[in-house]
């Protein structure tokens, strides 16, 4: 045995432990149960519930009093008794005190049946309370649409408070008052507005904090539990779906240390509400003479086939949601390619595809998710990590607390709960900021360069040091991907990574963005990542150069595409549009001719490949809504009806295995083919005159159709609506003030394609974090469908009242 | 939260020069200097005391928020401190504070009688302020001077072995 291990005895069992470990951690590892409320392995030690009192002796000398197992470090030769009379008496005593003020409302408490207090009181509580005085009552606070409170039940374990301080980085809850008057709350009425806030529901050992959307809808013992994978961001959080009578009642995290630890984001937790949305598409529908008719599947499939075959090869375009499963994406590309078209793409929010030829074989995060915490220097380019990837933002925060330098380059300063170095520049100038960083490193650069400031030097030095230590990372996020100069930005990012010896990484925007590369659902990739002889049209090209027919998979054309006005114009002009979707929407009903209902998240089996390249399979947990069918079955049906080869799989597993075989030699790889040449690509000039650059960021709760249909999330403070966020100085130059209503017009750059520029109306919001020359106008929200490219020139005119 | 970790610091986006008053900031800085930089929040208690004294004996939420911003700490953490300790008042108070200790020794020494006396004579309930705004009467947790119970703290002065007659005299001499 090595020197840094010590041995101790717990309940007569010999255990090994590292010095400094707490007794409870060793006991947990050994499977010895010690009751606890305040202790949580991911949180700091508070030792305030006193439930884990145990008897112990060290060196033959017993401790005079029972000691808290959560706050007592182990010692060599220590003997711990967790079930001795002394220990049990202490635990019973604690339990009696904890129950003094706890209401006896278990029958109407949502936590009933899965309550740590209830469980432990079964073991240690008395049948009859000796406390006959009045119990205290605590006034409830409204913590917003996600978390229900019943603070009278609170036992002051402070797990939620510590979660705020240590994990979320935002201390919204606190323990105010003293003694009997102590209470957990926000003190000032406010909604909790953190993207991980739902985790305090799991942390709460009693029924004080429960899920508001789930409240009073089911009992813990009526639920069955199925494992699943979150369908939103690139993390692929492991979930446990709780189901009753074929309906997902709530979602809990499933521990997976390497992916999501024991947390999930609110988006993953509450998006299930969208499954029961009245907007679900539940029956196949055909448009006949401009009116929608419900038809049976047979008729719908034949109509879809006719519509898909009619345009003829090369005149069919296929746009696929990057949240579609690997199996769906694989069969889709098979179908589209068998129909003679190479035009399939999942990169719906990308505008610049100039460097597709140089694409890495399988772009990924660059490091495993868990290793983000060990990075010493990270530069995020075009990324608002808390909005895009809440759990990766948490990992980066952990790195920052550990001393790492987190630097960001964005068109607006993003809100973070840790120290960071932020560079803010309007999108046309992002490239020159990167050049400035390269120049600060002493590298020769071409093209316009921003002035090198002290911050550039600071970032360059930090990245260099981190790179040298092998713990440096340059990450490209969703705002970079959406940039019209993405080719240039990522080429410069690659140059910067090389110059600093940092790794280069891509934040996969959606649950299966990485999967697209494996499934081959891209115009320049076949299954397994090989390049086809001839590349098809990318997501933008097939709209700029409209196709006669389109196949839309799992997307809403007015929300999920980089340039909704261009997309809608192209789709309106198309002769045949077949849309497979789990949701109906006005835009889909307008442009489509055939609507096929497909299963949503939790209703289909499939695989997601997360941003670190991890394949995660899941099974369908509930039946699809109405007459909807799992996507892969719909595609198999279409393929079989067309008598194409390769559509004879019996189940999703067989499709998965087929893809896995095709990808057996493909490993995550961020090496560019030939990107260096792209550095000389000239960038767009900044918009002139009355135009600003629109930054159409994707708000956290607008990311995909399922989230957009989840009502509770839409009521949180993080849900955004259409507004024009301007720097006060910028607003002043335009003669605008907070609350003014303006007319927005975009799309004149492709007016020829779309016929006319479109316009939307929105209020002005002043925000000092926005770069000058920009207007942050969120994408994928109500009204944004009237606008053009997410990042591009926008004209703003005041509407006189 | 625990003493093993440095506390959560929140860098608030305000110009510190605009907070409180220059004199208060200078006084608070003296206390901040006593702690390691990452434990700057430890100065929250003296800071609150200084701000409270400056504000006529009570703390408004705005003032607590300013202390939080000045010490780079979460507002909630300041509320926690201010609500925990009895010496901070979160509502406007009278010109003087009469704080009667209610802990065991004082209770045995006649604190209850003393409190009834104050309540009756000055027509003020514990926690309340007299109609003329002269004094705020507070029931206080242990003042830590059990040897000479009952103890009354009037503003910042301790008075020991206080009888009803003595307290009348003390109150008469105020202002």
Q: Please give the pLDDT value at position A195.
A: 95
- Contact state of A188 with B61 under an 8 Å Cβ cutoff: yes
Question: Closest partner residue to B1 among A166, A170, A186, by Cβ?
Answer: A166
pLDDT over threshold 80, residue A751: no
Q: Say how far apart CA A456 and CA A464 lie, in whole Å.
A: 12
DSSP-derived letter for residue B175 is -
Question: Closest partner residue to A44 among B1, B10, B74, by Cβ?
Answer: B1
Question: Which of A27-36, A744-753, B36-45, B160-169 has the weakest average pLDDT?
Answer: A744-753
> If phi over 0 gives left and psi between -120 and 50 gives alpha, with beta otherwise, what is residue A357?
alpha
- The residue among A701, A615, A688, A703 whose CA lies nearest residue A652 is A615
B1 Cα to chain A: minimum distance (Å): 7
Q: What is the pLDDT of residues A767-791, one digit of tens each?
A: 999 999 999 999 999 989 889 999 9
- The residue among A560, A512, A554, A507 whose CA lies nearest residue A325 is A512
- Contact state of B84 with A45 under an 8 Å Cβ cutoff: no
What DSSP line would sit under B101-167, residue for residue? E-SHHHHHTTHHHHHHHHHHHHT--TT-B-TTSSEEEEEES--S-GGG-S-EEETTEEE-S--HHHH
Q: Please give the pLDDT value at position A675.
A: 54
* Cβ–Cβ < 8 Å for A798, A715: no
- Contact state of A44 with B4 under an 8 Å Cβ cutoff: yes
Q: Please give the pLDDT value at position A1.
A: 44
Q: Please give the pLDDT value at position A750.
A: 44
B165 Cα to chain A: minimum distance (Å): 33
B62 touching A (Cβ < 8 Å) = no
Which 101-160 residues of chain B touch chain A by CB within 8 A?
A: none
pLDDT more than 70, % of chain B: 97
- Contact state of B5 with A171 under an 8 Å Cβ cutoff: no
Q: pLDDT tier at A174 (50, 70, 90 boundaries)? A: very high
B21 touching A (Cβ < 8 Å) = no
B15 touching A (Cβ < 8 Å) = no
Q: Please give the pLDDT value at position B15.
A: 87
B69 Cα to chain A: minimum distance (Å): 14
Q: pLDDT tier at A123 (50, 70, 90 boundaries)? A: confident
**Nearest residue of B to residue A45, measured between CA atoms:** B2
Residues in chain A: 801
Q: Which residues of chain B have a CB within 8 Å of the CB of A422?
A: none
Strands in B157-159's sheet, in edge-to-edge order, are B135-140, B96-101, B152-154, B157-159
A418 Cα to chain B: minimum distance (Å): 8
Dihedral in degrees, nearest 10, Cα atoms B92, B95, B101, B106: -160
Q: Which residues of chain B have a CB within 8 Å of the CB of A174?
A: 74, 76-77, 79-80
Dihedral in degrees, nearest 10, Cα atoms A140, A143, A147, A151: -20
Q: Please give the pLDDT value at position A747.
A: 65
* Cβ–Cβ < 8 Å for A164, A115: no
- Contact state of A174 with B76 under an 8 Å Cβ cutoff: yes
- Contact state of A417 with B10 under an 8 Å Cβ cutoff: yes
Which 212-251 residues of chain A touch chain B by CB within 8 A?
A: none
The interface pTM score, or ipTM, of the predicted complex is: 0.89
B11 touching A (Cβ < 8 Å) = yes
**Which two three-digit tokens encode residue A269?**
């937790």
pLDDT more than 90, % of chain A: 82
Q: pLDDT tier at B4 (50, 70, 90 boundaries)? A: low
- Contact state of B1 with A169 under an 8 Å Cβ cutoff: no
pLDDT over threshold 90, residue B158: yes
Cα-Cα-Cα-Cα dihedral sign, residues A66, A69, A75, A76:
positive
- Contact state of A162 with B61 under an 8 Å Cβ cutoff: no
Q: Say how far apart CA A128 and CA A340 lie, in whole Å.
A: 77
- Contact state of A44 with B2 under an 8 Å Cβ cutoff: yes
A48 Cα to chain B: minimum distance (Å): 11
Q: Which residues of chain B have a CB within 8 Å of the CB of A173?
A: 76
Parallel, antiparallel, or unpaired: how do β-strands A405-410 and A377-381 relate? parallel
For chain A, the average pLDDT equals 92
Strand partners, A229: A238
Q: What is the pLDDT of residues A605-635, one digit of tens each?
A: 999 999 999 999 999 999 999 999 999 999 9
Q: What is the pLDDT of residues A513-533, one digit of tens each?
A: 999 999 999 999 999 988 899
DSSP strands (E only) in A245-394: 247-253, 285-288, 291-294, 316-320, 344-345, 377-381
pLDDT over threshold 60, residue A9: yes
Question: Mean pLDDT across the stretch A242-253?
Answer: 96
B8 Cα to chain A: minimum distance (Å): 6
- Contact state of A165 with B74 under an 8 Å Cβ cutoff: yes
DSSP-derived letter for residue A358 is G
Q: What is the pLDDT of residues B61-97, one digit of tens each?
A: 999 999 999 999 999 999 999 999 999 999 999 999 9
pLDDT over threshold 70, residue A452: yes
**Nearest residue of A to residue B88, measured between CA atoms:** A177
Q: Say how far apart CA A299 and CA A286 lie, in whole Å.
A: 9
Question: Closest partner residue to B84 among A178, A417, A419, by Cβ?
Answer: A178
* Cβ–Cβ < 8 Å for B101, B152: yes
- Contact state of A44 with B76 under an 8 Å Cβ cutoff: no
Number of cross-chain residue pairs from A and B with Cβ atoms under 8 Å apart: 53
**Nearest residue of A to residue B65, measured between CA atoms:** A188
B8 touching A (Cβ < 8 Å) = yes
Which 368-427 residues of chain A touch chain B by CB within 8 A?
A: 417, 419
Q: Say how far apart CA A15 and CA B31 lie, in whole Å.
A: 47
Question: Closest partner residue to A46 among B2, B77, B84, by Cβ?
Answer: B2
- The residue among A737, A717, A730, A739 whose CA lies nearest residue A412 is A730
pLDDT more than 70, % of chain A: 96
- Contact state of B76 with A45 under an 8 Å Cβ cutoff: no
pLDDT over threshold 80, residue B2: no
pLDDT more than 90, % of chain B: 81
- Based on the number of CB atoms within 10 Å of its own CB, is A17 exposed (0-12), middle (13-18) or buried (19 or more)? buried
Q: Which residues of chain B have a CB within 8 Å of the CB of A186?
A: 76
- Contact state of A171 with B76 under an 8 Å Cβ cutoff: yes
Distance set, CA A565 to CA A244, A344, A349, A490, B58 (Å): 41, 20, 13, 27, 58
Question: Mean pLDDT across the stretch A624-648?
Answer: 95
b/e per residue A412-445 (b: at least 16 CB within 10 A): bbbebbbebbbbbbbbbbbbbbbbbbbbbbeeeb
Q: Say how far apart CA A25 and CA A81 lie, in whole Å.
A: 15
A171 Cα to chain B: minimum distance (Å): 6
* Cβ–Cβ < 8 Å for A191, A142: yes
- Based on the number of CB atoms within 10 Å of its own CB, is A706 exposed (0-12), middle (13-18) or buried (19 or more)? buried
A44 Cα to chain B: minimum distance (Å): 6
Which 158-217 residues of chain A touch chain B by CB within 8 A?
A: 158, 161-162, 165-166, 169-178, 186-188
Q: pLDDT tier at A758 (50, 70, 90 boundaries)? A: low
Q: Say how far apart CA B78 and CA A196 lie, in whole Å.
A: 23
3-state secondary structure B47-71: HHHHHHHHCCCCCCHHHHHHHHHHC
- Contact state of B79 with A177 under an 8 Å Cβ cutoff: no
B10 touching A (Cβ < 8 Å) = yes
DSSP-derived letter for residue A464 is H
pLDDT over threshold 50, residue A755: no
Q: pLDDT tier at A752 (50, 70, 90 boundaries)? A: very low
Question: Mean pLDDT across the stretch A31-35?
Answer: 95
- The residue among A384, A392, A411, A289 whose CA lies nearest residue A686 is A411
pTM over 0.90: yes
Question: Which of A576-585, A619-628, A789-798, B57-66 has the weakest average pLDDT?
Answer: A789-798
For chain B, the average pLDDT equals 91
Q: What is the pLDDT of residues A697-738, one digit of tens each?
A: 999 999 999 999 999 999 999 999 999 999 999 999 999 999
Q: What is the pLDDT of residues A408-428, one digit of tens each?
A: 999 999 999 999 999 999 998
Q: Which residues of chain B have a CB within 8 Å of the CB of A46?
A: 1-2
Residue A489, classed as helix, strand or coil, is helix
- The residue among A224, A232, A228 whose CA lies nearest residue A256 is A228
**Which two three-digit tokens encode residue A524?**
């320049």
Question: Mean pLDDT across the stretch A197-217?
Answer: 96
A190 Cα to chain B: minimum distance (Å): 12
Q: What is the pLDDT of residues A49-104, one digit of tens each?
A: 999 999 999 988 999 999 999 999 999 999 999 999 999 999 999 999 999 999 98
Q: Please give the pLDDT value at position A753.
A: 42
Q: Say how far apart CA B109 and CA B107 lie, in whole Å.
A: 5
């Amino acid at each position: 045995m090595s020197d840094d291990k010590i041995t101790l005895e717990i309940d007569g069992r010999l255990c090994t432990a590292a010095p400094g470990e707490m007794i409870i951690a060793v006991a947990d590892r050994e499977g010895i149960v010690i009751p606890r409320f305040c202790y949580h392995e991911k949180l700091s030690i508070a030792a305030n519930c006193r439930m884990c009192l145990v008897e112990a002796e060290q060196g033959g000398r017993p401790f005079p009093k029972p000691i808290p197992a959560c706050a007592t470090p182990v010692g060599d030769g220590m003997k711990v008794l967790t079930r001795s009379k002394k220990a049990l008496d202490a635990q019973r005593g604690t339990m009696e005190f904890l129950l003094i003020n706890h209401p006896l409302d278990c029958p109407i408490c949502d936590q009933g049946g899965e309550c740590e207090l209830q469980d432990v009181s079964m073991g240690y509580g008395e049948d009859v309370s000796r406390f006959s005085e009045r119990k205290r009552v605590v006034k409830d606070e409204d913590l917003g649409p996600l978390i229900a409170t019943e603070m009278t039940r609170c036992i002051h374990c402070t797990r939620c408070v510590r979660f705020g301080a240590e994990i979320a980085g935002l201390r919204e809850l606190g323990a105010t008052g003293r003694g009997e008057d102590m209470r957990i709350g926000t003190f000032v009425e406010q909604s909790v507005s953190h993207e991980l806030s739902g985790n305090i529901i799991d942390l709460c050992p009693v029924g004080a904090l429960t899920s508001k959307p789930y409240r009073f809808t089911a009992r813990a013992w009526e639920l069955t539990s199925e494992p699943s994978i979150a369908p939103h961001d690139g993390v692929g959080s492991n979930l446990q779906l709780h189901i009753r009578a074929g309906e997902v009642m709530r979602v809990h995290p499933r521990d997976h240390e390497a992916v999501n630890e024991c947390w999930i984001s609110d988006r993953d937790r509450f998006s299930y509400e969208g499954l029961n949305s009245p907007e679900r598409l539940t029956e196949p529908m055909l448009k006949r003479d401009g009116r929608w008719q419900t038809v049976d599947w047979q008729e719908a499939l034949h109509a879809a086939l006719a519509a898909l075959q009619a345009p003829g090869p090369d005149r069919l375009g296929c746009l696929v949601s990057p949240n579609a499963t690997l199996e769906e994406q694989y069969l889709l590309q098979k179908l589209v390619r068998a129909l003679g078209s190479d035009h399939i793409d999942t990169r719906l929010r990308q505008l610049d595809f100039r460097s597709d030829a140089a694409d890495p074989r399988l772009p990924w995060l660059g490091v495993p998710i868990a290793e983000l915490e060990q990075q010493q220097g990270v530069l995020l380019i075009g990324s608002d990590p808390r909005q895009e990837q809440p759990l990766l933002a948490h990992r980066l925060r952990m790195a920052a607390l550990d001393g790492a330098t987190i630097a960001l380059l964005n068109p607006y300063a993003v809100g973070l709960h840790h120290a960071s170095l932020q560079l803010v520049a309007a999108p046309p100038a992002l490239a020159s900021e990167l050049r400035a960083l390269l120049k600060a490193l002493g590298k020769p650069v071409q093209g316009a360069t921003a002035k090198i400031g002290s911050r550039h030097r600071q970032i360059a030095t930090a990245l260099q040091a981190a790179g040298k230590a092998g713990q440096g990372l340059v990450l490209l996020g969703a705002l970079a991907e959406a940039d019209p100069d993405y080719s240039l930005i990522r080429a410069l990012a690659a140059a910067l990574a090389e110059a600093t010896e940092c790794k280069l990484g891509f934040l996969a925007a959606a649950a299966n963005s990485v999967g697209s590369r494996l499934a081959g659902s891209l115009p320049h990739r076949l299954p397994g990542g090989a390049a086809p002889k001839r590349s098809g049209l990318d997501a933008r090209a097939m709209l700029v150069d409209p196709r006669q027919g389109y196949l839309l998979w799992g997307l809403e054309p007015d929300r999920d595409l980089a340039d909704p006005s261009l997309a809608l114009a192209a789709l309106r002009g198309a002769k045949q549009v077949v849309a497979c979707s789990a949701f109906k929407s006005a835009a889909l009903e307008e442009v489509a001719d055939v609507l096929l209902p497909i299963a949503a998240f939790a209703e289909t089996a499939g695989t997601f490949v997360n941003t670190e390249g991890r394949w995660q399979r899941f099974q369908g947990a509930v039946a699809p809504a109405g007459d909807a069918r799992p996507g892969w079955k719909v595609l198999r049906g279409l393929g079989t009806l067309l008598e194409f080869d390769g559509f004879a799989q019996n189940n999703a597993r067989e499709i998965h295995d087929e893809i896995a075989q095709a990808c057996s030699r493909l490993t995550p790889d961020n090496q560019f083919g030939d990107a260096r040449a792209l550095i000389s690509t000239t960038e767009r000039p900044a918009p002139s005159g009355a135009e600003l650059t629109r930054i159409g960021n994707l708000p956290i709760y607008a990311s995909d159709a399922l989230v957009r249909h989840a009502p509770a999330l839409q009521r949180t403070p993080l849900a955004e609506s259409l507004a024009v966020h301007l720097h006060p100085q910028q607003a002043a130059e335009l003669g605008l003030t907070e609350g003014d209503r303006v007319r927005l017009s975009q799309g004149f750059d492709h007016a020829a394609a779309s016929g006319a520029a479109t316009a939307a109306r929105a209020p002005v919001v002043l925000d000092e974090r926005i770069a000058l020359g920009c207007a942050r106008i969120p994408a994928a929200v109500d009204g944004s469908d009237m606008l053009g490219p997410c990042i591009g020139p926008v004209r703003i005119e005041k509407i006189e009242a | 939260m625990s003493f093993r970790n440095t506390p959560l610091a929140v860098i608030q986006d305000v110009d510190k020069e605009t907070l409180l008053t220059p004199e208060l900031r200078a006084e608070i800085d003296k206390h901040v200097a006593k702690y390691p930089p990452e434990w700057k929040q430890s100065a929250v208690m003296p800071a609150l005391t200084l701000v409270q004294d400056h504000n006529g004996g009570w703390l408004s939420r705005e003032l607590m928020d300013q202390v939080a911003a000045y010490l780079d700490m979460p507002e909630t953490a300041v509320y926690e401190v201010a609500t925990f300790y009895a010496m901070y008042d979160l509502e406007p108070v009278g010109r003087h504070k009469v704080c009667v200790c209610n802990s065991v020794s004082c209770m045995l020494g006649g604190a209850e009688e003393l409190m009834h006396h104050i309540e009756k004579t000055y027509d003020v309930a514990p926690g309340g302020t007299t109609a003329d705004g002269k004094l705020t009467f507070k029931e206080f947790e242990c003042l830590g001077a059990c040897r000479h119970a009952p103890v009354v703290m009037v503003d910042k002065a301790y008075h020991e072995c206080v009888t009803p007659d003595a307290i009348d005299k003390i109150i008469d001499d105020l202002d």
